[in-house]
Structure 1
């Protein structure tokens, strides 16, 4: 719970930063527009980020018949964690990797690469799948998506300030540079909070 509160506070700080940059660009009206833009981007990401990521990676959805052993393993781990079975996807690349995506456990997906299946043992693959299910179980996937979106919004406004300058001389090149420095730092701070929250949660997780 404490970890979740910290993540929420950092997300609120990101929102405040977006509004502050909007104010530097256009005063109170700019702050309101920045908030609306960030909200719209987050709304779009909430519903579509998983589909976009999987499509960009060329992921192929696996049916219970196509990925029988992997499907059975994932189903067993999901049942043990008392969470819905996520969709399974295969990425046609030899680099060993896996990731989870989705806005909630009911609309989640786990993607693994062909290289991971080729180079890892069954026990190692099970450990990777359990790790990705823990991300889904604790809704890290949604938080990471929103974080990336907010960081993108901050970077976008930084570019606007760098090339267009702010209202009444506010912002400009200095504001743009500050925004571009703060965007990755803000994302890193939220990721650190997520990792700490996940670490304590996984010690109690049923997976």
Structure 2
């Protein structure tokens, strides 16, 4: 938990430094003052609104017990077993099977599942997935992950703004500055995600979630199905979704484009093997 807090502080500090340097380069003393204000607003948004940014990227909406009784009961039971506050439950209309947790702490956490995952998994497998996502909340992974995703979204958005308002003439397109911003800021956002998010956190959440549910094989089965589902229904590789992809239980993209740049997921086969070993299986 201390490491996650330190990573978050470094991320916010790095963003402030970049914004202030750009302000000094563009506008001198006045630019620095404007950049400081922008940095403060950006850091505040990343910290307090990171969950909304991730949920918005997936077009998720809150759901309750009446609409999703099985999911709601699973989240409530596992939260009660862990003696922790129950997070908010969201549903994304996406047909791809996936799920993620977001928020800055357990009291301000949210779990989002896609419509596709509710159609693909049975109740036992859904319980395994929810246990995994709750473990991210309880391990305090979501603080660093959510803030990193929000900052990457802002950086990527600045790249898009640069493309359209990069100083070129109306007849000549965005110009050199806009193209340069897009070429530089995209990899910067991806590098921020890669440096701040350790792949070991997925293994840790798998193990903690399996202990919470007492059923490692349920999560293993769910991961196999989710892997096939994401391959069959990959999400479009745009910057907004890519900035939130590291939060998801499985990589939502295929191919070698921007989705691979932002990927922090370990191989599914290795995750399944570890869960099977927890259950006593030997290959």
Common fold: TM-score over 0.5? yes
**Unpaired runs of at least 5, structure 1:** 166-171
CA RMSD across the alignment = 3.6
The 10-residue stretch of structure 1 (7-16 or 47-56) with the greater mean CA deviation from structure 2: 47-56
Pairwise mapping of residues 164-183 of structure 1 onto structure 2 (< 5 A)?
A: 164=167, 173=176, 177=180, 180-183=183-186
Pairwise mapping of residues 44-59 of structure 1 onto structure 2 (< 5 A)?
A: 44-51=45-52, 53-54=54-55, 57-59=58-60
Q: Kindly indicate whether the alpha-carbon contact (under 8 Å) linking 2:89 and 2:112 is maintained by their aligned counterparts in 1.
A: yes
Pairwise mapping of residues 1-207 of structure 1 onto structure 2 (< 5 A)?
A: 1-2=2-3, 4-51=5-52, 53-54=54-55, 57-155=58-156, 156=158, 159=162, 163-164=166-167, 173=176, 177=180, 180-196=183-199, 198=201, 202=205, 207=212
Q: Kindly indicate whether the alpha-carbon contact (under 8 Å) linking 1:98 and 1:112 is maintained by their aligned counterparts in 2.
A: yes
C-alpha distance in 2 between matches for 1:45 and 1:6: 14
Structure of greater relative contact order (alpha carbons < 8 Å, 6+ residues apart): 1
Q: Kindly indicate whether the alpha-carbon contact (under 8 Å) linking 1:86 and 1:110 is maintained by their aligned counterparts in 2.
A: yes
Deviations 1:8-67 (A, max 9, x none): 334422321222222221224323322321321332454445346546645343322432
- Compare the two structures and name the one with the higher helix fraction: 1
C-alpha distance in 1 between matches for 2:132 and 2:78: 10
C-alpha distance in 2 between matches for 1:181 and 1:193: 18
Q: Kindly indicate whether the alpha-carbon contact (under 8 Å) linking 1:41 and 1:149 is maintained by their aligned counterparts in 2.
A: no
Q: TM-score, normalised by structure 2?
A: 0.56
Q: TM-score, normalised by structure 1?
A: 0.72
Match of 1:169 in 2: none
| Distance verdict in 2 for CA 1:117–1:42, change over 3 Å | same
Deviation at 1:126, TM superposition (A): 1.9
Deviation at 1:85, TM superposition (A): 0.3
Q: Kindly indicate whether the alpha-carbon contact (under 8 Å) linking 2:15 and 2:39 is maintained by their aligned counterparts in 1.
A: no
Deviation at 1:125, TM superposition (A): 1.6
